[in-house]
Structure 1
Amino acid sequence: MADPQPGAVRWIHPDAPAKPAPGAPCNGCGVCCVWQPCPLGVVLSRRRRGACRALRWLHAEGRYVCGALHDPAAVFGWGHRPWARMLSRALRPAIARWIAAGRGCDCDVEVDRLDA
C-alpha cells in the first residue's frame, strides 16, 4: 500500500488490536481503512485519502469492521426498509470480494503506538 501522505498522523481507537504482519489474518486493527479507503471505500467516502467513512468500531468486540460488509443498510443509507435486509444479504459476498475480506493483511504501513 503506497504511502499517500508521508509522515501523516492518523488516530486509531486506543483499544484496537495491534496491526498484524502483512499476510497474517485480519484482526480488526483498522489501520488500512484509517490510512486510506479501498476501492469500495473510495466510492463510499468520495475521497482517496484519509479514513474510510464505512469503517465502524465495534466496542463490544474491541475491533474495527467494514460497515459496508457488517451493516450495508446503514452504510448505503437504506435504513430499515423491508427490502434492505434481503439486498444486504445478497450483496455481502460481492462486498467481501471487493474488499478482499479473508485474504489477510495487505497493509504495509508502519504503525507507532503511543502508550499513555
Structure 2
Amino acid sequence: MHQVIHIHPEAPAKPATGQPCNGCGVCCLAEPCPVGMLVSRKRHGACKALVWADAEGRYRCGLLMAGSARPGLWRALWRRWAARWISAGSGCDASFEIEPRPDPTRQFTP
C-alpha cells in the first residue's frame, strides 16, 4: 500500500528497524499507536499527540511531554504509563519503506 505522509523538513531520517528512536516521526505520522488511537479518536493517519520539538529538531510524543507539568510521583507514574503504551525504548518498529523527498531545485532535462 502506498501512503503519503508529510514530514517536517528538518526531521531526522528514519532509523533502521530495531535501532533506537531518533524522533523522525514516521511511525506516528503513518498511524497512531494504541494509546494514540484513544487520544486521536482514529485508527489511521497521523496521531494528534505527535508534537514537533523545534529546539530539538525532532518529533516527540505529546503524551510524554504532558506529564512534565506534574511534579513528583504523579509525573513519574504518568510518564511510565505513557512510555509503556507507546513502546518507548523498544527501538524502531516502523517497517515502512521511505522514499526520499523530491528535490525542488533539481533540474530535469529530456
Structures share fold, TM-score greater than 0.5: yes
| Structure 1: segments with no counterpart, 5+ residues | 1-5, 74-83
- Please tell me whether Structure 1 or Structure 2 has the larger radius of gyration of its CA atoms: 2
CA distance in structure 1 between the partners assigned to 2:46 and 2:80 by the alignment? 23
Q: Match of 2:107?
A: none
| Structure 2: segments with no counterpart, 5+ residues | 105-110
Q: Match of 1:25?
A: 20
Deviations 1:62-112 (A, max 9, x none): 000100012248xxxxxxxxxx61444431101111111011000001111
Does residue 1:112 correspond to 2:99, yes or no? yes
**TM-score, normalised on structure 2?**
0.85
Question: What's the secondary structure of 2:70's corresponding residue?
Answer: helix
Computed over aligned residues only, the root mean square deviation of the Cα atoms, in angstroms, reads: 1.5
Count of residues paired in the alignment: 101
**Cα offset for 1:59?**
0.7
Q: Match of 1:3?
A: none
Which structure 1 residue ranges, 4+ long, deviate > 2 Å from structure 2? 86-90
**Cα offset for 1:16?**
0.2
Question: What's the secondary structure of 1:71's corresponding residue?
Answer: helix
Structure 1 window deviating more from structure 2 (42-51 vs 6-15): it is: 6-15
- Specify which of 63, 83, 107 is matched with residue 68 of structure 1: 63
